[in-house]
Structures are given as structure tokens and as C-alpha cells.
């Protein structure tokens, strides 16, 4: 029996295909003790496994994850392409900022890709260009094609995907699947074939896999589209706004939360246009949302 190390590239019906460090693809299963410990191997996991020549192997250990997502169930993501519609549905800076905060808290690098830009008037496109500049100045990669899937924008995105493991995510109807199919034209056919093969059985099983896209890897399924939960304390929220965090170090008070404190460098930067007003407004909304969820222990329900 030989022991290998590699990364899971495919999960299907209890099997895990692992690409070894020396470039071999090995089919494995998880040992029963993973279930007992409440652990499930995920696509993207780096694992140690045993395998006999020509036979199925068994996963022995899962390396510590840098991050993970629930939808799709994948781990160790380098970056997320945030597919952001500007029409149908209309652009929402609140949703985009929620997504950015969520990704920042998970240590996943965002790339903002605007879609449906060909539905804008010239004035609306000019306004969107100002928004794009604001997010670039905030420290984010932004792709703003004049037509949603223009070749030059896809080429620009491809260079960002090289040597990374990426996931595509965004609001329902934003064009996530369409973007994936532009990047990997054969994907739609492959997905249909898998779906038809699985639907013949009584139990439909979801396949999750890493697809080669140029010199990079992309999860074959779009990511989650709802971002409701902020898991950080309100006082730490500013750490996940790159622009606010950059100016926060110049505030007069070390514990400044950039709301009512005097000599706040963040509020001054908003006034001077160095931080987008919409970003600051969303920061305040998210702060209040987190504070509003805090349990209050000194109040009792009068019904009891």
C-alpha cells in the first residue's frame, strides 16, 4: 500500500477523485471514521490517502482548510468572481458590499465582473464607470465590459484565473452560468450529460468538481447567491471594508468605529470623496444589523 498527497478535484456519489502532487488522478473513498467525527471531504481539500495499484484508495487525513463554502461545498478557494448584474436585476451596491464583506471574512479574493452592461444607456454606463473606479480605488479588481461577455473582458478574466482555484458567484439571474459557459464552452454539454446519467437512477446525486480553465481551476457550479449573515462582531466589521480599514489607522481614537467619534479619518475621507458614500452607508447599515442581533440579557419576556 502506497500513501499519496493531493487535492480533491471531483466529488460524486461518495467517491473522490484526487489529483496527486505528481499529477496522477486517483479515485478514493472516505474512511468511515470521518462520518463518525462529522467530517466530510470537500472538493478543494488537500488530503493524504492510501491506494493500492489499480485499486480504489482511502482518504486517511484532511489538511487544515483555509476556507470553505456550503454552496457549492468546496474548500481552499483562492478567489471568487462576483458576477454583478446592472439590469434585470438592477445593480445593488448593498448586495455587492455584503458579498465583499463575506468573502473578505473568509479570506477569499473577490473579482467584480459586471454583466448586462449592454442594456445601459450611455449616461448609465458613464455612471457605472464611476462606480467601477470607486471599487478599484477601494482595492478590488473590477472588470467592466461594454458588452457583458466581450472577448477582451473574458481574456482579462482568464489571466486572473491562471494558477488559482476560483468560484463563480452572484445574484440569481446575474449570468453566472452564462459566464462559466463562455469560459468553458463544453461545460453545458458535460453538465447535461452528467444530469441525464444521474437522473436514470432513483437517487439524483450532485456532482461537484474542479474544471481546468486555462492554467487555473474553477468550480463547475455557481456559488451561493444569498448573503445574510455577518459572523464578526460589529467592532471588527471595518476590517472587512478595505477602504475603511486603510483610513481607520489615522483616526484619533484607537477603538473608533467611525460612527459618532470626533476626529474620525474615515468620515473625513467620505466627505473628501476618498471613500464612496454608498460604501460608508452600507457599513453603517451592516453595523446596525450586527448590533441588532446581539442578545440582551437584562430584559425579560413579560409573558413568563
The pTM of the full predicted model, rounded to 2 decimals, is: 0.86
Residue 265 C-alpha cell reads as 479619518
Q: Cell match 452564462: residue?
A: 178
Residue 112: which residues within 8 A CB-CB, separation 6 or more?
82, 84, 96, 132, 135, 140, 141, 142, 143
**Considering the domain 74-219, what is its CATH architecture?**
3-Layer(aba) Sandwich (3.40)
CA distance 9 to 43: 5
Cell of 129: 464607470
Residue 251 annotated as binding?
A: yes
The pLDDT assigned to 190 comes to: 53
Q: 204 a known binding residue?
A: no
Q: What is the mean pLDDT of the chain?
A: 87
Tell whether 264 is in a known binding site: yes
Please state whether the peptide bond connecting residue 72 to the residue before it is cis, i.e. omega within 30 degrees of 0: yes
The answer to whether 40 is a known ligand-binding residue is no
How far apart CA 269 and CA 257 sit, in angstroms, is 14
Identify the CATH number of the domain defined by range 2-64: 2.40.50.140
Q: Is 116 annotated as a binding residue?
A: yes
Answer yes or no: is 256 a known binding residue.
Answer: yes
- The confidence score (pLDDT) of residue 240 equals 96
173 annotated as belonging to a binding site for a ligand: yes
Identical fold between 2-64 and 74-219: no
Is the CB of residue 91 less than 8 Å from the CB of residue 84? yes
258 annotated to a ligand binding site: yes
Judge whether 176 is annotated as a binding position.
Answer: yes
pLDDT in tens, 229-280: 688 999 999 999 999 999 999 999 988 999 999 999 999 999 999 999 999 9
Predicted confidence at residue 301, as pLDDT, reads: 47
Confirm whether residue 170 is marked as ligand binding.
yes
Residue 180 phi, psi (nearest 5): -60, -40
Report residue 80: phi and psi, to 5°: -125, 135
Nearest to 28 by CA among 12, 36, 191: 12
Q: Residue 192 in contact with residue 199, Cβ under 8 Å?
A: no
Domain locations in the chain? 2-64, 74-219, 234-292
Q: What share of the chain is helix, strand, coil (3-state, %, to 5)?
A: 35, 25, 40
Burial of 38 per CB tally in 10 Å (0-12, 13-18, 19+): exposed
Quick one: pLDDT at residue 202? 39
Q: What is the DSSP string of 82-111?
A: EEEESTTTTP-HHHHHHHHHHHHHHT-EEE
Torsion of CA 130, 265, 110, 7, to 10 degrees: 170
Q: How far is CA 300 from CA 1, 144, 296, 297, 304, in A?
A: 62, 52, 9, 8, 8
Mean pLDDT by 10 residues, the chain (304 residues): 90 92 90 82 95 79 92 93 92 94 93 95 96 96 92 94 93 85 72 47 63 90 71 94 96 93 96 97 96 64 45
177 labelled binding-site residue:
yes
- Alpha-carbon Rg for the chain in angstroms: 22
DSSP 120-165: S-HHHHHHHHHHHHHHHHTT-EEE--SSTT-HHHHHHHHHHHTTSE
CATH of domain 234-292: 1.10.40.50
Amino acid at each position: 500500500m502506497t500513501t499519496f498527497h493531493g487535492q480533491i478535484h471531483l466529488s460524486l456519489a461518495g467517491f473522490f477523485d484526487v489529483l496527486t502532487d505528481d499529477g496522477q488522478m486517483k479515485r478514493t473513498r472516505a474512511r468511515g471514521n470521518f462520518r463518525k467525527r462529522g467530517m466530510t471531504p470537500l472538493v478543494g481539500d488537500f488530503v493524504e490517502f492510501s491506494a493500492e495499484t489499480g485499486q480504489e484508495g482511502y482518504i486517511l487525513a484532511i489538511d487544515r482548510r483555509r476556507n470553505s463554502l456550503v454552496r457549492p461545498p468546496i474548500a481552499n478557494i483562492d478567489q471568487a468572481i462576483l458576477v454583478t448584474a446592472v439590469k434585470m436585476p438592477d445593480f445593488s451596491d448593498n448586495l455587492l458590499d455584503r458579498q465583499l464583506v463575506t468573502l473578505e471574512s473568509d479570506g477569499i479574493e473577490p473579482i467584480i465582473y459586471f454583466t448586462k452592461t449592454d442594456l445601459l444607456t450611455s449616461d448609465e454606463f458613464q455612471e457605472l464607470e464611476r462606480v467601477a473606479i470607486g471599487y478599484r480605488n477601494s482595492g478590488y479588481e473590477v472588470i467592466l465590459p461594454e458588452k457583458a461577455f466581450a472577448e477582451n473582458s473574458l481574456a482579462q478574466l482568464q489571466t486572473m484565473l491562471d494558477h488559482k482555484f476560483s468560484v463563480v458567484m452572484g445574484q440569481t439571474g446575474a449570468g453566472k452560468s452564462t459566464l462559466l459557459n463562455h469560459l468553458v464552452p463544453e461545460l453545458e454539454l458535460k453538465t447535461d450529460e452528467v444530469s441525464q446519467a444521474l437522473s436514470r437512477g432513483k437517487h439524483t446525486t450532485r456532482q461537484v468538481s474542479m474544471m481546468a480553465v486555462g492554467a487555473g481551476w474553477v468550480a463547475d457550479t455557481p456559488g451561493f447567491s444569498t448573503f445574510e449573515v455577518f459572523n464578526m462582531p460589529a467592532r471588527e466589521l471595518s476590517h472587512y471594508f478595505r477602504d475603511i480599514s486603510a483610513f481607520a489607522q489615522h483616526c484619533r481614537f484607537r477603538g473608533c468605529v467611525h460612527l459618532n467619534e470626533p476626529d474620525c479619518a474615515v468620515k473625513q475621507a467620505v466627505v473628501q470623496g476618498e471613500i464612496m458614500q454608498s460604501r460608508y452607508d452600507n457599513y453603517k447599515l451592516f453595523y446596525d444589523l450586527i448590533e441588532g442581533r446581539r442578545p440582551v440579557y437584562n430584559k425579560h419576556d413579560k409573558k413568563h
